[in-house]
Chain A
Amino acid sequence: MTGRRRSAQAGAGRASGTLAVVPDAKLPLRAKVASQVSRTAAALSRAAGRGDGSVIGGWIGLKIDPDLLKHLATGRQVALVSGTNGKTTTTRLTAAAVGVLGDVATNSFGANMPSGHTSALAKAGATPYAVLEVDEHYLPQVLAATDPRAVALLNLSRDQLDRAKEVAMMAQLWRTTLANHPKVAVVANADDPMVVWAAVASPSVTWFSAGQRWHDDSWVCPECGSHIERAENQWWCTGCPLRRPEPQWVVEDDGVLDPLGHWHKVTLQLPGSVNIGNAATALAVAAQFGVRPIDAVPRLARVTSIAGRYAQVQRDGRIVRLLLAKNPASWLEAFDMAERAPTLLSINARDPDGRDTSWLYDVDFSPLADGRPVLITGDRAYDLAVRLEVNRVPFRHVTSFEDAVAAIPPGRLEVIANYSAFQDIRAELNRVN
């Protein structure tokens, strides 16, 4: 069962599970105890089969020493990666790129709240570098605790609206936070008006352009409330000076143009143009640490799947590929990545997904109406059924992943699922990473 699990630092050059090598000498006593307990608890949690153990250990450690994250971050050069979508993948790519310089601690299982950061740093021991994925809501706290050298801001869009703060409030939260930390180098997405408005509060911004398929959360200017116009790859406010800044890092074809005007071909094992964009972001963040793109690009090619995302698995003669889509923007990206092959869609509406399925109507499912067999499953398959009928996408309902595999001929099966549905299928495939 555990054979497929990789270490938390896979791709960043450090083996995990070797607690003995961790030099805790520099930590205050309380932090030392907390750090040790944190690692032990994580190991116990894993041994008990309760997930990756990356949250529980950190949570216990923070109970013992509330400043543990701060203590563990001290002495490391830290990069934070936040945004609604792509942060797990971008974090992994950034860790790989910064890995050119030395060992990197990272929370690559998507445990992106302070407990997960604490656990990741405790487990990694002393590393000169850390690249941490941060939940959008927690950016202020984690920024204050880790004093990062760079922060990457990917995008902001609607996500689990029955629980999360509204998009504009999130942009405001980021804006205030960045204004309070003027020394942090910000690496931000020039194509997302909400991100730009938040980032311009910082005196030090490097802009990247990775394209943006989803526009429905940024038609209204966060500064003045006027309409935002778009043409080609540009956008501008019709009522105030807010407009797309000129990016220094740009996705061009299957590569990335750097600020010096050099184009680097990017070969990835991850699908879709969205991941070339994530690679561009990773290169821009790594450059803040002095990593040259030419040195980092080969390391990006070694990154495979991340916590099951994009994983390919053989099952009964079928090649199953897993694509995670958590919100409307990421569904559009998943349709772009999926090959024209039999496709299984699975939807749940449990707590981690948000209980509300309204977002189904923010996604245009018509790209699936191209003749490929479409199968649906999950707790909320009927919501999906009604949605697909409206989009005139023929489908077949199956009650389990096994039935889906049996329902298609040998060959490829693309699976697109939202968060807990994805985890269910991943569990059926022995927690594939």
Chain B
Amino acid sequence: MSTDESRIRIVWVYPDLLSTYGDRGNVLILARRAEQRRLPVETMEVRSDQPVPRSADIYLIGGGEDGPQALAAQRLAADGTLRASAESGSVIFAICAGYQLLGHSFFAKGVQCPGLGLLDLHSDRGPTRAVGELAGDIDPRLGLPPLSGFENHGGRTHLGRGVNPLARVTTGVGNDGTTEGAWFGKTLGTYSHGPALARNPALADLLLRWAIGADRLPPLDDTWPDRLRAERRAAVAAPAGRP
């Protein structure tokens, strides 16, 4: 799939608009985990006034505020590359505002805005802002351990028949208090914001496997991510208010 020999090309889409909660972390973690397997990677940041490069292996779209989200959706629709690349098999991983804009429509700046329609879902405004730890059991077909994350969003997302929920919520709100995130083909979105992959290394590896078409990757020493996951799991199980 790579145009540039055997490198994995990772494109971070519009960090000038969509980069609110440490979204850079997902780029860094994918690149690091690829390098540790001696898979050559190339990462690119593409600003909203630049064309999105075609046929990258992985596109990352981060979270953002209402105004930039609406602007990003407009520019991505006009650009057209993301849709074409998704159809030709590129991996898309989107967070929060980036996740919402992959659907048919989302709510920003007081109005319903058209999305890219890459995922069969739409988002509107919820009664309250969802802020806090987010956890859930991931769709068994993906073969991943439970999702662990932090969410901060005012939107609620309603899934159509053409997507699968990423997870069943055990802590937090996610899409609607029941399901969290969505995936279809190699496009995956989540409300677990910012560096979602820091707390979900197996999800990072799934994206890398999708990108290179591998069923498995050599294991890495995940002592610290595992301790972090265990500590967060204990924290959400403990009474509220504990650090």
Contacts and interface: CB of A to CB of B under 8 A. Distances in A.
A299 B65 CA distance: 44
Q: Which among A216, A389, A391 has the highest number of chain B CB atoms within 10 Å?
A: A389
Interface in A227-257: 227, 238
B243 A379 contact: yes
A6 B120 CA distance: 62
A220 interface: yes
B195 interface: yes
Interface stretch (A23-31, A189-197, A259-267, A351-359): A351-359
Nearest to B71: A225
A360 B22 CA distance: 7
Interface in A384-426: 385-387, 389-391
A162 B71 CA distance: 22
B54 interface: no
A58 B85 CA distance: 60
A385 B19 contact: no
Given A225-B71, A349-B243, A379-B243, A359 B47 contact: no
Nearest to B25: A361
Interface stretch (B101-109, B136-144, B181-189, B220-228): B220-228
Contact of B28 (A168, A361, A382): A361
A383 interface: yes
A361 B194 contact: yes
A239 B235 CA distance: 47
Given A227-B16, A379-B243, A382-B231, A162 B22 contact: no
B131 interface: yes
A382 B152 CA distance: 21
A174 B131 CA distance: 26
B17 A220 contact: yes
A168 B21 contact: no
B164 interface: no
Given A227-B49, A361-B195, A390 B25 contact: yes
A225 B66 CA distance: 13
Given A162-B131, A382-B224, A356 B150 contact: yes
Given A358-B21, A358-B22, A359-B22, A386 B152 contact: no
Nearest to A355: B132
A225 B77 CA distance: 18
B108 to A, nearest CB: 13
A161 interface: yes
Interface string A210-235: 00000010011000011100000000
B198 to A, nearest CB: 5
Contacts of B68: 220
A225 B69 CA distance: 12
What DSSP secondary structure best describes chain A's contact surface?
loop
A354 to B, nearest CB: 10
Contacts of A219: 16, 47
Given A360-B22, A386-B228, A220 B32 contact: no
Given A358-B25, A361-B25, A382 B228 contact: yes
B131 to A, nearest CB: 5
A162 B199 CA distance: 18
Given A350-B243, A383-B228, A166 B198 contact: no
B236 to A, nearest CB: 12
Contacts of B150: 162, 355-358
Interface in B1-51: 16-17, 19-25, 28-29, 32, 47-49
B16 A358 contact: no
A108 interface: no
B67 interface: yes
A348 interface: yes
A348 B243 CA distance: 8
A162 B20 CA distance: 11
Contacts of B67: 168, 225
Given A358-B195, A361-B25, A385 B16 contact: no
B32 A390 contact: yes
Interface string A358-382: 1111100000000000000001101
Given A227-B16, A356-B150, A385-B227, 11 more contacts: A161-B152, A168-B65, A348-B243, A356-B194, A358-B150, A358-B193, A382-B228, A386-B224, A386-B228, A389-B32, A390-B28
14 contacts: A162-B131, A162-B152, A227-B16, A350-B243, A358-B22, A358-B150, A360-B25, A361-B24, A362-B24, A382-B227, A383-B198, A386-B199, A386-B228, A387-B198
